[in-house]
Amino acid sequence: MAQNTASKLNETSRSAVGRDGVLDIAARLFREQGYGSVSLRKIAEAAGIKAGSIYYHFGSKDEIVAAVLDAGIQVVHASMRDAVTALPADTDGETVLRAAIRAHLRALLDVSDYTSANVRIFGQVPQSVRDANLPTRRAYEAEWDSLLSRLQEDGALKQDVDIRRLRLMLIGALNATLDWFDPDRGSADALSHTYADVFLNGILERKDA
Amino acid sequence: MAQNTASKLNETSRSAVGRDGVLDIAARLFREQGYGSVSLRKIAEAAGIKAGSIYYHFGSKDEIVAAVLDAGIQVVHASMRDAVTALPADTDGETVLRAAIRAHLRALLDVSDYTSANVRIFGQVPQSVRDANLPTRRAYEAEWDSLLSRLQEDGALKQDVDIRRLRLMLIGALNATLDWFDPDRGSADALSHTYADVFLNGILERKDA
DNA sequence: GTCTATATGGGGATAGAC
DNA sequence: GTCTATCCCCATATAGAC
């Protein structure tokens, strides 16, 4: 997210400026430590400013968290939508679904502290903050439902699976990788391939094949 | 867990006595509200005692949380092991795996506040508490790895799937149901059937069949 | 925009009476 | 076993100087 006005020096920590810089740091800390462990003091320290100064940019801690949560969904939504629309119109269903899975997993595991922070802390934030994030989430969910419905109508997916339930199962499974994914054991891309294999074909040895 | 010394009246809230009663209430509150939102004062109030009295039973909040986490895994572990060992020795691989999935999901969604609390708050508790829960978790994971390896050796599962990764995918997917499961939309048993169908056979429409 | 205070509240935890 | 009372710390948030 960030896009600071100018420099890109000192990547790791110090002197992140402005509202976006604070937001970037907050997202990273929330992803790393969860919601409850991250105080405004911690965010301020990581940003190289004092806690009170944060209130120049934000009205409350909830406002920061809400901004992080919304951006997190927007990033993964755009990633998934772009990956799908970039394909030729006549692409087969399996390839489309694989692209969507890959885009979701890349946003979550490779690209965005905002997306991973959202997945990690959504269940920890106050109800009011969760509610504020719901419309954004609904839009992303609708994108998936639309995709899955289309594939089912095209005959690519089994007819007897409930789209809503399938979406919950799939996104839930993908998001759960955040708890154990380790880039040293294989890339997010490779992992997305495995997930696609399992969801598309299952793990049972088949007598035919 | 509970097993109070005697009565079973007033199910919903008041006058839960003793260490086990406090633990039961803590587990329920952690499951419902997460770790950060549940103070000792809240637990005490729900138990019908005062906050200070909790320290007669426990040395610290961490001790309570650790006990809840351990019990949560023990319950689901026993549930899964019993379900599998109850089957005849020559039961086919698919049936065994379906039973294990069903047992895990039932413990998580139907039976135990401890198991659901564990899944919900494990990522929110202090590192030291997580570490204390690891041995118990490892034992349950080993049970799954052992089961999956056996099925793979018997030729029931595809040979090219990595057992550890498969276990992480499967347990992660099952645990994710906690975020959206709604008994009004279908039982945990029915849901376990759907999960087994997807993981075993996939969602792709097949030309053969 | 950032600083130095500081107000205010809630958290975990302890001491000692009953 | 439970109570009351209290300590101490850290959290969010505010006020006003620079």
* Predicted confidence (pLDDT) per residue in B104-119, tens digit: 999 999 999 999 999 9
Q: Nearest CA to B29 among B41, B40, B38?
A: B38
CA B195 to chain centre: 16
Kindly report the nearest CA distance between residue A3 and chain B, in angstroms: 30
Give the count of alpha carbons within 13 A of A102, CB side only: 14
Find the chain A residues whose C-beta atoms sit closer than 8 A to any C-beta of B: 34-36, 94, 120, 123-124, 155-159, 161-162, 165-166, 168-169, 172-173, 175-177, 179-180, 194-195, 198-205, 208
CA A13 to chain centre: 23
Q: Are B94 and A207 in contact (CB under 8 A)?
A: no
Minimum-distance nucleotide, CA of A17 to C1':
C1
**Which of B173, B200, B204 has the CB atom closest to A173's CB atom?**
B173
| Span B60-73, pLDDT tens digits | 999 999 999 999 99
Q: What is the pLDDT of residue B1?
A: 58
For chain B, give the percent of residues with pLDDT over 70: 91
Q: Determine, for residues B168 and A156 on separate chains, whether the beta-carbon distance falls below 8 Å.
A: no
Cα separation, B139 vs B141, in Å, equals: 5
Residue A28 belongs to a domain: yes
Strand C contact nucleotides, protein CB < 7 Å: 1-6, 10-16
* B159: pLDDT strictly greater than 80: yes
Residue B41 belongs to a domain: yes
Q: Are A114 and A68 in contact (CB under 8 A)?
A: yes
Q: What is the pLDDT of residue A11?
A: 36
Residue B48: pLDDT band with limits 50, 70, 90: very high
Domain count, chain B: 1
Q: Which token pair is B72?
A: 């949560």
Q: What is the pLDDT of residue A17?
A: 76
Residue A206 belongs to a domain: no
* Residue B131: CB atoms within 10 Å: 11
* B87: pLDDT strictly greater than 60: yes
Residue B147 belongs to a domain: yes
Q: What is the pLDDT of residue A2?
A: 54
Residue B119 belongs to a domain: yes
Encode chain A (209 residues) as per-residue pLDDT tens digits: 554 433 333 333 445 579 999 999 999 999 999 999 999 999 999 999 999 999 999 999 999 999 999 999 999 999 999 999 999 999 999 999 999 999 999 999 999 999 999 999 999 999 999 999 999 999 999 999 999 999 999 999 999 999 999 999 999 999 999 999 999 999 999 999 999 999 999 999 987 65
Residue B207: pLDDT band with limits 50, 70, 90: confident
Can you give the pTM of this predicted structure? 0.94
Q: Which residue has the higher pLDDT, A13 or B196?
A: B196
* From A12-26, B13-27, B175-189, the region with the lowest mean pLDDT: A12-26
Residue B184 belongs to a domain: yes
Q: Are A54 and A22 in contact (CB under 8 A)?
A: yes
Residue B209 belongs to a domain: no
CATH code for position A23: 1.10.357.10
Residue B208 belongs to a domain: no
**Which of A35, A94, A175 has the CB atom closest to B176's CB atom?**
A175
Q: Is nucleic acid strand D under 7 Å from A39's C-beta?
A: yes
Range of the domain at A18: 2-201
Q: Write the CB contacts of B118 (distance below 8 Å, at least 6 apart in sequence).
A: B68, B69, B72, B73, B133
* B3: pLDDT strictly greater than 50: no
Q: Report DSSP state, residue A115.
A: H
Q: Which token pair is A161?
A: 């699976």
Q: What is the pLDDT of residue B17?
A: 76
Taking contacts as CB-CB distances below 8 angstroms, the residues of chain A near B175 are 176
Residue B8: pLDDT band with limits 50, 70, 90: very low
